[in-house]
Amino acid sequence: MTAPGLLMVAAVAVLYSTGFYLLLQRSLMRVVFGIVILGHAANLSLMLTDRAITLPPLLTGKEGAISDPLPQAMALTAIVITFGVTTFLLALAYRVWLGDANDEVPADLEDRRIGRLSEPEDQS
């Protein structure tokens, strides 16, 4: 039974916490930053599932135990996807900024409207 080093676990905890915190902000740019950091956190989590971190998963080098290539492949995919998502969010943020002159997540008006429906009911 092997577990990842506690240092890296702590790093994952910090990355997730900061990512979540930024995600909970109203500023769209900070939300984008939060997504980027969460992407790092997820990649690091993937890496930590490897039991024994040793040589790179290349068969050309010296013989010996190699790292688990599957989490790496998944993380590689995730990195590129995160890049795509980040650029999309940036475009979205830019769009909101153009329309609103405001770099903030707007409140969902439809939700507000539904919420307001119930108010007369309560008063009567």
Scan residues 103-122 and list those touching other proteins (CB under 8 A). Answer: 103-112, 114-119, 121-122
Smallest separation (angstroms) from other proteins to the CB of 64:
11
The reply to whether 3 sits near other proteins by the rule CB under 8 A is yes
- Residue 114 Cα distances to 110, 111, 118, 120, 124, angstroms: 6, 5, 7, 12, 17
Smallest separation (angstroms) from other proteins to the CB of 124:
11
Taking phi over 0 as left and psi of -120 to 50 as alpha, with beta for the rest, 76 belongs to alpha
The reply to whether 35 sits near other proteins by the rule CB under 8 A is no
| From 10, 62, 63, 123, residue interacting with other proteins (rule: CB under 8 A) | 10
Closest-CA residue to 18 (of 49, 40, 48): 40
**Bridge-partner residues for 27, per DSSP?**
104
| From 62, 63, 79, 123, residue interacting with other proteins (rule: CB under 8 A) | 79
Residues sharing a CB contact under 8 Å with residue 87, sequence separation 6 or more, in sequence order: none
Smallest separation (angstroms) from other proteins to the CB of 36:
6
Using CB under 8 A as the binding rule, the residues of this chain from 81 to 100 that contact other proteins are 81-88, 90-100
Smallest separation (angstroms) from other proteins to the CB of 103:
5
| Segment (H or E) for 77 | helix 69-100
